[in-house]
C-alpha cells in the first residue's frame, strides 16, 4: 500500500493562511501577510500581483477604504444561486465602489466560459451597488512609481504604529498650514522628535488623505514633498 504523503509544517501553515479561497493561489505563489491601516486586522494576499495592487490602492488619493479579503457575494444567475469572490472591494472618497479582480490579463470576451464569468461578476458587483473592474499587469506597470514608493512608505509606518502618533500628526499639519509643498527632510529638521516617528506620522496622514504628495512621480525619501489637501 502506498504511504500517504504527510504535509510539511510550511505547507500546513500555507493552507491555514489561504483558507478556502479557491481563486487565491497556486502552490508556487507567494503569500503576503499584512495589517490593515484602518483596523490593524490581518490581511492575507496571495501572489505578487495582489501585493502590488495593495500598494496601488493604499497610495491612491481618491481611495477611502479597501476590503482586501471581502466576504463572498451571493447572486442568482440563470436561476441558480451563485457565490462570487472578488479580490477586493474598493470604496472611493466620493462614495462610489468597485469590485475588483487582480489578474495577469483580462478575460476574453470571445471565450464562452470567460464571458459567462464576466457577466456573473458584473451582476454580483451591481448587487452591492458597485461596478466591476479587472486590474491587470498593464495597469500595475503604468503605476510602477506609486507601487514602489508605497512599498517603502508603509513599512516605515508599520514599524511605529504601536507608538502614539496623533500629536505628531497635528504638528505636521500645523507646519504645513501655509499650503506650501514641504519635503519630509525639512519636516524632520523643523520638528524636534524622532525622525522615524515623523515619517510614520506623514505616512499616516497620507493614508488618511489629509495630505497629498509627489509619490506618483518621484522616488520615496527625505526629499519627497507633501502638502495639505485643499478643502
Domains (ranges, CATH) in the chain?
11-141 (3.40.1350.10), 144-228 (1.10.10)
Residue 33: band (very low, low, confident or very high) from pLDDT cuts 50, 70, 90: confident
**Residue 25 has what pLDDT?**
47
**Residue 23 has what pLDDT?**
45
* End-to-end CA separation in angstroms for the chain: 73
Q: Does the pLDDT value for residue 65 go beyond 90?
A: yes
145's grid cell: 512609481
**Residue 131 has what pLDDT?**
97
**Residue 129 has what pLDDT?**
96
Supply the pTM of this predicted model. Answer: 0.86
Residue 6: band (very low, low, confident or very high) from pLDDT cuts 50, 70, 90: low
Higher pLDDT, residue 33 or 121 = 121
Average confidence (pLDDT) over 58-66:
95
Q: Does the pLDDT value for residue 165 go beyond 60?
A: yes
* Mean pLDDT computed over every residue of the chain: 87
Q: Does the pLDDT value for residue 213 go beyond 90?
A: yes
CA 18 to chain centroid, in Å, comes to 17
- With 0-12 / 13-18 / 19 or more C-beta atoms within 10 angstroms meaning exposed / middle / buried, residue 210 is middle
The fraction of the chain above a pLDDT of 70, given in percent, is: 87
The pLDDT tens digits of the residues spanning 173-200 come to: 999 998 899 999 999 999 989 999 999 9
Residues 165, 204 contacting (CB under 8 angstroms): yes
Amino acid at each position: 500500500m502506498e504511504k500517504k504523503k504527510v504535509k510539511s509544517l510550511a505547507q500546513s501553515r500555507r493552507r491555514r493562511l489561504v483558507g478556502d479561497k479557491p481563486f487565491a493561489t497556486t502552490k508556487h505563489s507567494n503569500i503576503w501577510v499584512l495589517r490593515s491601516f484602518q483596523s490593524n486586522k490581518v490581511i492575507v494576499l496571495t501572489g505578487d500581483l495582489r501585493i502590488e495592487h495593495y500598494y496601488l490602492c493604499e497610495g491612491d488619493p481618491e481611495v477611502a477604504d479597501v476590503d482586501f479579503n471581502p466576504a463572498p457575494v451571493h447572486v442568482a444567475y440563470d436561476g441558480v444561486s451563485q457565490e462570487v469572490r472578488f479580490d477586493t472591494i474598493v470604496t472611493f472618497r466620493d462614495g462610489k465602489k468597485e469590485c475588483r479582480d487582480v489578474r495577469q490579463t483580462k478575460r476574453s470576451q470571445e471565450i464562452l466560459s470567460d464571458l459567462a464569468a464576466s457577466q456573473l461578476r458584473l451582476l454580483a458587483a451591481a448587487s452591492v451597488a458597485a461596478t466591476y473592474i479587472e486590474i491587470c499587469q498593464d495597469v500595475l506597470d503604468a503605476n510602477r512609481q506609486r507601487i514602489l514608493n508605497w512599498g517603502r512608505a508603509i513599512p516605515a509606518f508599520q514599524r511605529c504604529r504601536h507608538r502614539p502618533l496623533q500629536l505628531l500628526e497635528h504638528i505636521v499639519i500645523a507646519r504645513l498650514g501655509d499650503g506650501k509643498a514641504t519635503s519630509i527632510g525639512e519636516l524632520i529638521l523643523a520638528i524636534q522628535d524622532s525622525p522615524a516617528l515623523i515619517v510614520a506620522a506623514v505616512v499616516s496622514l497620507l493614508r488618511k488623505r489629509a495630505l497629498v504628495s509627489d509619490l506618483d512621480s518621484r522616488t520615496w525619501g527625505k526629499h519627497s514633498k507633501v502638502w495639505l489637501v485643499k478643502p
